[in-house]
Amino acid sequence: MISKDIIELIDEYYPRMSKSHKAIANFIKENYNEAVFMTAAKIGERLKVSESTVVRFATRIGFDGFPQFQSALAAWVKDKLNSVRKMGAKYGRSSQSEIITSVLNGDIEKIRDTMTGLDPESFEYAVDSLLEAESVYIIGLRSCEPLADFLSFYLNMIRDNVKLIRTTSVSETFEQMIRVSDKDCVVGISFPRYSMRTLKIMEFARDRNARVISITDTQYSPMCMYSSCNLFARSDMVSIVDSLVAPLSVINAIVVALCLKAPEAVKENLESLESAWENYQVYLNDEINFIDDEPMLDYSLRKDLMKESPYEEE
pLDDT digits (tens, 9 = 90+) for 39-54: 999 999 999 999 999 9
Q: Which CATH number fits domain 97-263: 3.40.1160.10, 3.30.70.1450, 3.40.50.10490, 3.90.870.10?
A: 3.40.50.10490
- In this prediction, the residues of the chain whose per-residue pLDDT falls under 50 are 1-3, 89, 238-240, 291, 295-299, 301-303, 305, 311-314
What pLDDT score was predicted for residue 314? 41
Distance CA(156)–CA(165), nearest Å, equals 14
**CATH 3.40.50.10490 occupies which residues in the chain?**
97-263
**CATH 1.10.10.10 occupies which residues in the chain?**
6-81
> According to CATH, what is the number of the domain 6-81?
1.10.10.10
Contact 235, 157 (CB under 8 A): no
Neighbouring-strand partners of residue 232: 216
What pLDDT score was predicted for residue 237? 54
The pTM of the whole model exceeds 0.85: no
Q: Which residues contact 296 (CB under 8 A, 6 or more apart)?
A: 288, 289, 290, 302
Contact 62, 2 (CB under 8 A): yes
What pLDDT score was predicted for residue 313? 44
Distance CA(249)–CA(262), nearest Å, equals 20
Contact 70, 45 (CB under 8 A): no
What pLDDT score was predicted for residue 305? 47
